[in-house]
Amino acid sequence: MVVKNERLLGPVDSAFFYVETQKNPMNIGAVCIFDGVMHFDELVKLVDSRIHRAPIYQQKIVQTPLNLGQPMWMYDPDFYVGNHIFRLRLEPPGTEEQLRQLAGRLVSSPLNRDKPLWEMHVIEGLSDNRTAIFFKVHHCMVDGLAAVELLTLLFDLTPDMPEIEPKPLYDAPSIPEKTQLVAGALQRDVSQGFKILRKVGGELSFIGSLLSDKEKRRKTFIGMANLLNDNLRPIRRLPINGKNSGRQALAWTEFSLAEVRAIKSGRNASVNDVM
C-alpha cells in the first residue's frame, strides 16, 4: 500500500495551530457514555484495526525550520495506537459530576505535538455499571462534525462484535531532512510568488480603471470610509473579558432528535445549526 506523505495545512487550520498556547489549548473534546463495562484491550485492538480508514489520525504536523513554509501533515513513522489510548478510573461513587471534572482537566492540557494530535481516554468506575470514553482532538485536525465521523467509524450500529479485520500493511514514509523541508518550502514560495505577481498585475489594471471612473471612485472612497469608521471604534469590554486561567469545563445534557427537529422546523435551519 502506497501512501502520500505531504499535505499542507490550510490558512484556518494553520491559525488554530499557531494561536495555541499552554493556557489556550485548541482542543475539541467529546464524552461518550456506554452501558456496561468496556474491555480496554479489545477497544485498542478495534481502534488499531480501523484507524487506517481515517489517515489524518496517523499523521503529525511537521514544521519547516524557521517557519519558512506552512506546516504540513505527514505520516508519523513511529505511530502506535497504544500511544493515544489511555485507561483511567473514577474514585467511588463515580458520579457524572466527577466525570465532568475529569474531562475538564483532560481537555485543558495541550496535546503532544511530537505525535498525531488526538487522544482517547477510557474512563472506568462510572456509576450504574457504565463506562465513558473521552475523546480529544486538535481543532487544526478536524472540526466538530469530522470528529464525530471518527466515532461513527469506530462504533457499530448493532451489539454484535464484528470480526476484527486485518489492517493493510504499508511502510510509513520517513520524515524529510531539514534541508529537504527548507528546499520544498522555498520552491513553493517561488511558485506562489509568481501567482501573486500575476494577481497584482490584474489588480493594478482594476485600480487604473477605477481611478479613471469618477462614480466608481466616489463609491469606493465612501465604502472605505465606512469600513474604517466601523472597525476603528473602541471595542466595548464585555463581562466575559478577563485573564485566561487555562482551565476549561465540559457540560452536557440529554435531548431527543425529535426535539432538535422541532426546534429547527420553521426556522430555515438544519440539525447542525441547532446542535
In sequence order, the β-bridge partners of residue 136 are: 29, 119
DSSP 250: -
Residues 6+ apart with CB under 8 A from 79: 58, 115, 116, 172
> Percent helix, strand and coil across the chain, each rounded to 5?
45, 15, 40
Q: Which stretches of 182-238 are assigned E, i.e. beta strand? A: none
Q: Are 24 and 244 in contact (CB under 8 A)?
A: yes
97 and 63 Cβ atoms separated by less than 8 Å: no
Annotated catalytic residues are 139
Scanning 108-143, the segments in alpha helix (DSSP H) are none
Rg (C-alpha) for the chain, rounded Å, is 24
